[in-house]
Amino acid sequence: MKALNNKKLILGILISATLLRVLFLILKNYYFNLDYTEDELNYAIGGQHLIDHWLHNKNIDFFEFKSIDKGFYYLNSILEIIVGNNITALQTISIFSWTLGSYILFKLVKLIFSNREALLTLAGCSYAPFLIYTSTLNTKESVLYLILNSTLFFLALLLKKYFQPLYLVGLISCLACLLFFRLYMGLIIITICYITFFIYVIYNPINKKYLYITALILIALFSAIPIHEYLIFRIGDKIILSTLCQSVNTALQSSCTGKHILYANVDIKTLGAFLSFLPKSLMMFFAAPLPYIFSKPLSMFEKLILIEVIPLLILSLYISKGVYLSLKEQNFNGKLLILTIALFTTIFTIIFSTINCNLGTLYRHKSSLYPFYFMFIAYGIRKKHHTLNKNHST
């Protein structure tokens, strides 16, 4: 019976994510009425022809196709809506992988901590892209938002019982930074909603009856928003989307070839090449906290003294310690941990190498892994404090 419920939950998440993606596409193209060329829209948005046919009744002559071709056309359009881009075999499974990975992450954090931490982790996953992708043009702003988001979530997991006012001050500061640097009303509204959710989860007990419903909504949101749709909340910056469309076009023409932070060429067109890249993707997982500014032509000393590097290096040490203590824990399911790491790094590797070959954009995409790290940081420190308290009591 439990397995059946899990299947229903995953199916509900997939349906919800698909419906949310359709909603984003409709809002982006018809409510905001953005002025782009047809080619740009076709590159940026999957399923554009099918949505045009539904909403505008454009005169598309399907009778010139054979019946099986019409079937494939509709199937292709529906899959484009699901994956949010022109179809490749790997992108077709991306939303399913994201959904499954999010569900495993939810169960994993619930196993280690409690319902409260599980919901906060999912909320961090679904919120992080909104925060990070507002800084596409300015690297230092991106790093600033990333540090703020990491710090706030770190406080949420570790200090909620002792320093609740400090956490609220941090959230208000984050909102002030958003108002100061970028006046995006959509993002501000979303931030306020997440702040409200965080406060509620921190201060109130979690009703088990609504636990999975809330998790379903958060996972669906995390799974549904393709990279292109993050920018619907940046209505004023139309040139950003035009640039992104060109990047997507270039990436698709380059046959899913890109570079990751270690400057190793990536080609995932074949299964063998994809499997051979898995060890590199694990290296990417642990290298993700390092800012992409390490690739700039500076001396090592100049790189290390950059103000945005120091917090990330400290965070990397906590991550390593948390992973070590998590694996050392006897009651912890290490196989599930490794599976989750492999799944998430594989998913993000696919996205990086197919969407954009630019190293700066790659770093911003990799930054979305941060909510996954918080679990290790919190668990490692909490485990250490538990051990110290146990030693003092004895």
34 near 25, Cβ under 8 Å? no
Q: What is the dihedral of CA 370, 371, 377, 383, to 10 degrees?
A: -160
pLDDT tens digits for the chain (394 residues)?
344 455 565 555 555 555 555 555 455 444 444 443 333 333 333 333 433 443 444 444 333 333 433 444 444 444 444 444 333 333 333 444 455 556 666 666 676 566 766 776 666 556 555 544 443 434 444 444 444 444 544 554 555 554 444 444 444 444 444 444 444 454 555 556 666 676 677 667 777 767 777 776 676 665 554 433 333 333 323 333 333 333 333 333 333 333 333 334 444 444 455 455 555 444 544 444 444 444 445 555 554 554 444 444 554 555 555 556 555 655 544 445 544 554 454 444 444 444 444 444 444 444 444 444 444 544 555 555 556 556 656 5
Give the CB-side neighbour count of residue 291, counting CA atoms within 13 A: 23
**What is the reported pTM?**
0.39
Would you list the domain boundaries of the chain? 1-109, 115-205, 254-394
60 near 49, Cβ under 8 Å? yes
> What single-letter DSSP state applies at residue 324?
H
- pLDDT at residue 207 in the model: 73
And the tokens for 166?
A: 């400090």
Q: Give the span between the Cα atoms of 353 and 362, in whole angstroms.
A: 8
In 3D space, the residue among 283, 292, 313 whose CA is nearest the CA of residue 360 turns out to be 292
User: Which residues are registered as beta bridge partners of 267?
Assistant: 257
Contacts of residues 358-364 at CB distance under 8 Å and 24 or more positions apart, as own/partner, are 358/247, 359/259, 359/261, 359/292, 359/295, 360/139, 360/292, 361/136, 361/247, 362/258, 362/259, 362/260, 362/261, 362/292, 363/261, 363/291, 363/292, 364/132, 364/133, 364/135, 364/136, 364/142
Residues 6+ apart with CB under 8 A from 237: 231
Residues 6+ apart with CB under 8 A from 247: 355, 356, 357, 358, 361
